[in-house]
């Protein structure tokens, strides 16, 4: 199989993760895919191929040099987002894209238009892999997996390219924030690694959000509505007031760059109880702490108004900005930048408005910046990936391996 055949094979696997899952991986389908990948890694000649009971798959491409070279790793996640169906993905290739609307489903009038997705225009003349409009594609992060596997094959086929020991890691449950939790960094055995989980060509990311999840619970009192005067307390009304009291301009749809936000991601309510689910994000650690404090202060204000215990806020940190762990090892970034430039890519260092497994891995002792995998419009039916972007990502991996051996 070549790179694209491999990718198209991978997206046929339904590997959505689930926040409702009780184990790791959160869905059985991810383990099924992991077992397939294990057999594939063995068949292409990688060594030390292991798959643990939690769905973490590791393998080794041995060094082909005698000198001491740092052991590095490349990591991608096997799951796709639970936000949109990943079952029965039917990809197709739009050859030599001409800059017009792409009809995904003529029957259901589903299109991907450059008017809504102007990034399409950056890929005129390229070959785009798209969906049929009824599922996501799964380039996040099966493009990354395919690129890593194909890069290992390329290095085996070109022994003239000198490299040290390379570790490959594929993990479950990144999309639900659990991908790095059971990742055995010590067993992985690398000085540093790269997640192949970015988007547009040239992206190199070593800054991400500090992240927390907040569960705000509002208590009410249900009484028969015919006799409710002066007695009923409708938690949904109080919850709506709480929502309205949050900063209205500090939401994802109104922020960009280094601006943080509060994002209401779920509401489940009745008269008796309403639960609001928020995520809290900010690149700056101090502002991140201030955001969490604001939610607690707002909770106290509502309890003073409606009675103690009416509103409770359970806030838990999810991950932190990896910059503080990567910055002392900037040669890791320098190598990736040089690798991109050597294969004709303009490197674009940017901050992630999100998080990756690399953020958590960096705090577990494995500095792990993020590199582009090429896909765009993740988590929905308009997702696409240019074939040329995947090829450049694959060659970036190869070049990183080579440049690391030359240090």
Catalytic residues: 79, 174
Place of tokens 């408005």: 353
CA atoms within 13 A on the CB side of 142: 33
Report CA 335 to chain centroid distance, whole Å: 23
Residue 334: Cβ within 10 Å count: 12
Residue 95's SS3 state is coil
Candidates 203, 190, 180, 236; CA nearest to 24 is 180
Those residues whose C-beta lies under 8 Å from the C-beta of residue 66, and which sit 6 or more positions away, are: none
The 8-class DSSP code of residue 21 comes to: -
d(CA 359, CA 356): 6
Alpha-carbon separation of residue 168 from 5, 40, 200, 398 (angstroms)? 20, 13, 22, 13
Decide if 345 contacts 337 (C-beta within 8 A).
no
């Amino acid at each position: 199989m070549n790179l694209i055949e491999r990718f198209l094979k991978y997206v046929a696997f339904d590997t959505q993760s689930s926040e409702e899952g009780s184990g790791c991986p959160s869905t059985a389908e991810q383990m099924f895919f992991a077992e397939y990948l294990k057999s594939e890694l063995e068949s292409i000649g990688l060594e030390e191929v292991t798959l643990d009971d939690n769905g973490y798959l590791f393998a080794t491409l041995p060094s082909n040099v005698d000198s001491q070279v740092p052991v590095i790793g490349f990591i991608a996640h096997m799951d796709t987002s639970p936000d949109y169906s990943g079952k029965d993905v039917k990809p197709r290739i739009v050859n030599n894209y001409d800059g017009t609307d792409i009809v995904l489903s003529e029957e259901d009038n589903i299109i991907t238009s450059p008017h809504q997705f102007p990034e399409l225009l950056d890929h005129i003349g390229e070959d785009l892999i798209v969906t049929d409009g009824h599922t996501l594609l799964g380039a996040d992060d099966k493009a990354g997996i395919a690129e890593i596997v194909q890069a290992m094959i390329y290095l085996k086929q070109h022994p003239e390219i000198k490299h040290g020991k390379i570790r490959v890691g594929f993990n479950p449950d990144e999309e639900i924030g659990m991908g790095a939790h059971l990742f055995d960094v010590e067993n992985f055995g690398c000085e540093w690694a790269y997640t192949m989980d970015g988007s547009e060509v040239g992206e190199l990311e070593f800054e991400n959000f500090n992240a927390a999840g907040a569960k705000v619970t509002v208590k009410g009192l249900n009484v028969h509505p015919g006799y409710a005067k002066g007695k009923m307390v409708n938690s949904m009304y109080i919850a709506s007031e709480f929502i309205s009291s949050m900063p209205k301009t500090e939401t994802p749809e109104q922020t960009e760059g280094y601006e943080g936000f509060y994002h209401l991601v779920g509401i489940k309510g009745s008269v008796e109880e309403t639960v609001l689910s928020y995520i809290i994000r900010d690149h700056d650690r101090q502002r991140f702490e201030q955001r969490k404090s604001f939610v607690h202060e707002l909770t106290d204000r509502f309890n003073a108004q409606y009675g103690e215990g009416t509103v409770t806020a359970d806030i838990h940190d999810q991950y932190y900005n990896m910059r503080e762990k990567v910055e002392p090892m900037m040669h890791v970034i320098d190598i990736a930048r040089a690798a991109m430039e050597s294969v004709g890519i303009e490197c674009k260092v940017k901050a992630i408005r999100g998080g990756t497994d690399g953020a958590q891995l960096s705090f577990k002792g494995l500095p792990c910046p993020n590199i582009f995998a090429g896909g765009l419009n993740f988590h929905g039916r308009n997702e696409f990936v240019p074939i040329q972007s995947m090829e450049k990502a694959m060659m970036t991996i190869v070049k990183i391996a080579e440049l690391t051996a030359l240090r």
